[in-house]
Amino acid sequence: MSDNPHAIFAHIGLATFDFDKMVEFYTRFFGLHVSDLKTVGPGRNAAWLTSDPNQHHQLVIVSGRPEEATYNPVDQISFRTNSLADVKAYWRAAKKENLKIQKTITHGNAWSVYFLDPENNRIEVYTDTPWHFAQPHDSPLDFSLSDEELYQQTKTIVNQDAPEKPFVDWRKKTAAEMDLNDWPIREN
């Protein structure tokens, strides 16, 4: 364990080719709120976006990504939702917008849809399953199936590897290992 004070990941900054297009996409598609919008240098703009009034920003979009940039060091931007139904709603919305869907899967501990934003940054929208499952793991799922069918398929996958372990038990064990015994554990 680190001797440093505890820190919680808070936000990511994303350099963009088309600033206005990307701000519009993230505010419309994910409902993010623009906390601040400023010019930060000659010809450079920045937008601070959030979905939580307790956090000034969770995503910062900055203009000025060079046109010749051929590699994006950001592997993915992930959004956690409250339910499998919510993940499937984003899957349908991505399809409706003709965004490139890369995969619909279970990691055993999460149900996820992966797709590309307008500048080909990979986005994951996910929700936790009730189970802890060792990573990495990807099993494809057909999101046109009912939530109950996907739940049962995932439960079968989890039980093939080992007896199912409630995710809440993993959370409690991990909090204790991190000396965070008073940490507020999510039960779902």
Alpha-carbon distance of 146 to 116, in angstroms, equals 24
What's the pLDDT at 2? 60
Q: Is the pLDDT of residue 184 over 90?
A: no
Alpha-carbon distance of 112 to 143, in angstroms, equals 10
Do 98 and 155 fall into the same domain? yes
* Helix (H) or strand (E) run with residue 126 in it: strand 122-128
Alpha-carbon distance of 169 to 172, in angstroms, equals 5
> Quick check: is 93 in a domain?
yes
What's the pLDDT at 109? 94
CATH number at residue 49: 3.10.180.10
Return phi, psi of residue 139, to 5°.
-125, 125
> Quick check: is 2 in a domain?
no
Do 79 and 23 fall into the same domain? no
Do 85 and 123 fall into the same domain? yes
Q: Per-residue pLDDT averaged across 137-156, rounded? A: 96
Do 44 and 90 fall into the same domain? no
Tell me the chain's radius of gyration from C-alpha atoms: 19
For the chain, give the mean pLDDT. 91
Predicted confidence (pLDDT) per residue in 21-70, tens digit: 999 999 999 999 999 999 988 889 999 999 998 889 999 999 999 989 88
Residue 85 belongs to what domain range? 75-188
3-state DSSP percent of the chain in helix, strand and coil, to 5: 25, 30, 45
Grade residue 115 by pLDDT with cuts at 50, 70 and 90.
Answer: very high
Do 99 and 56 fall into the same domain? no
Q: Per-residue pLDDT averaged across 82-89, rounded? A: 95
What's the pLDDT at 98? 97
> Quick check: is 4 in a domain?
no
Count how many domains the chain has: 2
What's the pLDDT at 152? 97
Q: Is the full-model pTM beyond 0.85?
A: yes
What's the pLDDT at 6? 67
Lowest mean pLDDT among 51-60, 123-132, 178-187: 178-187
Do 135 and 50 fall into the same domain? no
